[in-house]
Each structure stands twice: as structure tokens, then as C-alpha cells.
Amino acid sequence: MARALFIIDVQNDFTEGGALGVDGGAAVASAITEHVREHPDDYDVVIASRDWHDPDNDNGGHFALEGEPDFVVTWPQHCMAGTDGAEYHPSIDTGLIDIHVRKGQGVPAYSIFEGTTDDGRGIVTALDELGVTDVDVVGIATDYCVRASALDALAAGRRVRVLSDLVAGVAPESSEAALREVAAAGATVEPASP
């Protein structure tokens, strides 16, 4: 039995000042690093995802290149590979991350399970190889990529806990709805332990 921490998309473009910055994103970045440092024995592996979109196309309709984005299916350009916006927020201590995942290369992707590790493995393969049965989920955005990653972890047969004080969302209503949804699906939703 092993426990993983999923750090979802804590990137410059998703924090204040970024292309799709959410309120509280920078504070969550700092709090995640503090949490990992204060609980070094809680996790057997720390896995972090990043949106990593192609800069030269609409990424399967994910980017609204013509007209206004609807902020549901289409979005402004964000987290383009090789740009500062795609990098981890500077408050994330990347030295604490064991496995890096990139997702959305040419296609829309919300869940960490839609990405691949730097060595080309899928997340289920990586979790199985490490014997991971339990996953804590933190990061951005509660109502999109955190939600999708938690639901996919449940679908992959893991016990899931979303640490509600270590997430930041696009909007309060949709974030609260996402947390209710993942709880109804079987996840535990609670603050990180002190």
C-alpha cells in the first residue's frame, strides 16, 4: 500500500497574472510546497501535472483562435509548451516532485490521467508499478483539472482524498459543485492535516 500526492497544474498561466489565472493560485502554490515539506513521510511519490499545449495550433479546438472563448469548451491560449506560462509557479519546489506529467499536447486534456510521464508512461502504469492505492489531490483548478483528476483516480480504483484547503478554482459555485461531485463519487474531501 502506497500513497501518492497529485499536484495538478500549478502553473504560471493558472495563477494570478497568468492567461487563465485563478484567485488564490499563488497562495495554493506556496501552501502545497509547505505541506509536502511538513509531511515528508506521508507520500511515497509526488506526481505533478502540467498543461503543455502546442503553440502553433488550436489543440483540438481547446484554444479559441477565432472569436471569443466560451470558457467551457474553448479557452484563450495558455500553457503553451516552452513558454513561461507553462512552467510551474515559482513557489512550487520542483525538487519535491518525483514524476512530472505533461498533458494536452495537441488535444484538450483536463485529467492527469490524460497525460504521460517524462519517460512516456501513462499514470495508471506508473501508479501500478509503485503499488499506489491511495491518492491525495491538490492544485488548480478545483472545478476543472482537479475535479477530472480526482474522478479518474477513483475510476482507476484508487482511494482518493481532495485536500480542500490546497486547491483553487475558477469560480466559487462551480468549485463547490466539483467538490460535492467528487465526494458523491467516493472521494474524501477534507482540509490537509495540520
* pTM for the predicted model, two decimal places: 0.95
pLDDT at 87 over 70: yes
Per-residue model confidence (pLDDT) at position 133: 98
3-class SS of residue 160: strand
Give catalytic status of residue 145 as yes or no: yes
Per-residue model confidence (pLDDT) at position 69: 85
pLDDT at 74 over 90: no
29, amino acid identity: A
The rounded mean pLDDT for the chain is: 94
Give catalytic status of residue 44 as yes or no: no
pLDDT at 194 over 70: no
pLDDT at 28 over 80: yes
Domain span at residue 98 reads 2-190
Average pLDDT of span 32-50: 96
Per-residue model confidence (pLDDT) at position 70: 82
In sequence order, what E strands does 72-115 have? 99-103
Residue 23: CA atoms inside 13 Å, Cβ hemisphere, count? 4
pLDDT digits (tens, 9 = 90+) for 5-16: 999 999 999 999
Residue 76 is placed in which grid cell?
484563450
Q: What is the CATH number of the domain that holds 9?
A: 3.40.50.850
Of 103, 136, 143, 152, the catalytic one is 103
Average pLDDT of span 28-57: 95
What H or E segment, with its residue span, contains residue 24?
A: none
Give catalytic status of residue 79 as yes or no: no
Of 51, 79, 143, 145, the catalytic one is 145
CB 143 within 8 A of CB 167: no
What H or E segment, with its residue span, contains residue 93?
A: none
In whole angstroms, what is the distance from residue 106 CA to residue 40 CA? 35
Of 9, 13, 51, 152, the catalytic one is 9
Q: How many domains does the chain have?
A: 1
Smallest CA-to-CA distance from 135 within 143, 144, 146 is with 146
**Contacts of the segment 109-118: beta carbons below 8 A, 24+ positions apart:** 109/51, 110/144, 110/145, 110/147, 110/148, 110/149, 111/145, 111/148, 111/149, 111/151, 111/152, 112/6, 112/8, 112/47, 112/49, 112/145, 112/149, 112/152, 113/149, 113/152, 113/153, 113/156, 115/49, 115/52
Smallest CA-to-CA distance from 50 within 15, 75, 23, 74 is with 15
Q: What share of the chain in percent tops pLDDT 90?
A: 83
